[in-house]
Amino acid sequence: MNEIFLLKIGEIILKGGNRKSFEGRLRSNVARRMRPFGEFKVSVLQSTVYVEPENELCDLEGAWDACHTVFGAVSLCRCRPCEKDLDSIYAAVVNYLGDDLSMARSFKVESKRSDKRFPYNSIQISQQIGGRLAEQYPEVPVDVHNPDYTVYVEVRDFAAYVHGPAEPGAGGLPTGSGGRGAVLLSGGIDSPVAGYMLAKRGVELECIHFFSYPYTSLRAKDKVLELARLMTRYCGRMTVNIVGFTEIQEAIRDNCPEEYFTILMRRFMMRIAERIAKDHGCGCLITGENLGQVASQTMEAMAVTHAVVDLPVFHPLIGMDKEEIVTIARKIGTMDTSILPYEDCCTVFTPKHPKTKPKKAAVEQVESRLDVEGLIERALANTELVKVRYHG
């Protein structure tokens, strides 16, 4: 094979006894992610995932791109495999990296020998290959301290590999290794980022969206489905639970004081999300809440909102500035869709003067005017499930 990918495993190697299962999960996640790009052999050896195209029909560029979004790999190298002897290694370097090397201002060779039977140690390999390259490219000086370009040689069990500088991987832990969580996905900037951050820690996601047709349009629903689809690039396949929320919002509007609209609505969201989460084996709820961003995201409001559920509520954006959130939203590719101007159900019945420091007892008293259980059951019965898969 002319070219293969090596994905270096990150924190997983710290996981002691669980290491095998983490590696297995990462291997199958990578294999699944490669499927749209042709037939690849994916194996794990020595804390490294090997991704080898099986034939000429493989879309290497697409596959390489996809490797950047697989959680659990810290760095990625595109390499040329070769026989384990110095002549073959040297020829592979010249053929595969010669163009980059000839344009560099200086270079060095860095070697690693995990096959200890190989007759040269890593320093000797670097000296031998570096010496020959210095003769071949006399205009590119060797600089071992601060090289412009580094040639890497790895002598492993079955072959030697040469490559240029590695690229950063997605980091984190393999999807699925951290259990399942339900993310409350609105159409905004924050919640897709919150989902991404938990997915990065190995959590498999179930999405929940509250939809208030006709107060919010079908285009708003499509926008959320598109956001979920975009998230699958990192988070893997997901199901979006679209919960009909109209009756609940109307009941709140018709029976409760305006200043309580948002907090009551959010308590319903939490209760419904918890039931869906438990039905799908999820151990937490995930929201895009961010301290102080809006009236419903004060400490007091969040306490009253989260009080209605037992599951832990994770809100990984809590201490971030908007700019930091936007940077991640751009990186994961959800930003442009998030800022499309369709309304969210939160904005439809927004009170002019929401309570920023609601008291739990007062909220409960207002809420007692509503048939909470009946409203929840009807909303759950009025839930549509949409499966979303990898985005091309």
In the complex, the residues that contact ligand ATP under the rule CB under 6 A are 184-186, 188-191, 208-210, 269, 287-289, 293-294, 296-297, 344-346
Q: Looking at beta carbons, which residue is closest to Mg ion?
A: 188
Q: What is the 3-state secondary structure (H, E, C) of the chain?
A: CCCEEEEEECHHHHCHHHHHHHHHHHHHHHHHHHHHHCCEEEEEECCEEEEEECCCCCCHHHHHHHHCCCCCEEEEEEEEEECCCHHHHHHHHHHHHHHHHHHCCCEEEEEEECCCCCCCCHHHHHHHHHHHHHHHCCCCCECCCCCCEEEEEEECCCCEEEECCCEECCCCECCCCCCEEEEECCCCCHHHHHHHHHHHECCEEEEEEEECCCCCCHHHHHHHHHHHHHHHHHHCCEEEEEEECHHHHHHHHHHCCHHHHHHHHHHHHHHHHHHHHHHCCCCCEECCCCCCCCHHHCHHHHHHHHCCCCCCEECCCCCCCHHHHHHHHHHHCCHHHHCCCCCCHHHHCCCCCCCCCCCHHHHHHHHCCCCHHHHHHHHHHCEEEEEECCCC
Instruction: Write out the residues near Mg ion by the rule CB under 5 A.
Output: 186, 188, 344
210 binds, among Mg ion, ligand ATP, none (CB under 5 to 8 A by kind): ligand ATP
Give 154 or 190: the residue with its C-beta nearer to ligand ATP: 190
Pick one of Mg ion, ligand ATP, none as the site partner of residue 184 (Cβ within 5 to 8 A by kind): ligand ATP
126 contacts which partner out of Mg ion, ligand ATP, none, CB within 5 to 8 A by kind? none
Q: Which is nearer to ligand ATP, 86 or 197 (CB)?
A: 197
With respect to Mg ion, which residue has the nearer C-beta, 69 or 186? Answer: 186
Which C-beta is closer to ligand ATP: that of 175 or that of 337?
337
Which of Mg ion, ligand ATP, none lies near 191, with the C-beta cut-off 5 to 8 A by kind?
A: ligand ATP
Rounded to the nearest whole angstrom, what is the least distance from the CB of residue 294 to Mg ion in the complex? 8
Give residue 7's identity as a one-letter amino acid code. L
Nearer Cβ to ligand ATP (154/289): 289
Interacting partner of 185 out of ligand ATP, Mg ion, none (Cβ under 5 to 8 A depending on kind) = ligand ATP
Q: CB of 296: closest distance to ligand ATP in angstroms? A: 5
Between 140 and 332, whose beta carbon lies closer to Mg ion? Answer: 332
Work out how close the CB of 290 gets to Mg ion at its nearest, in angstroms, rounded to a whole number.
Answer: 11
Closest distance of CB 130 from ligand ATP, Å = 52
Minimum CB–partner distance for residue 347 and Mg ion (Å): 7
| Closest approach of Mg ion to the CB of residue 288, in Å | 7
Shortest distance in whole angstroms from residue 181 CB to Mg ion: 19
Residue 249 interacting partner from ligand ATP, Mg ion, none (CB closer than 5 to 8 Å by kind): none
Q: Which is nearer to Mg ion, 289 or 344 (CB)?
A: 344
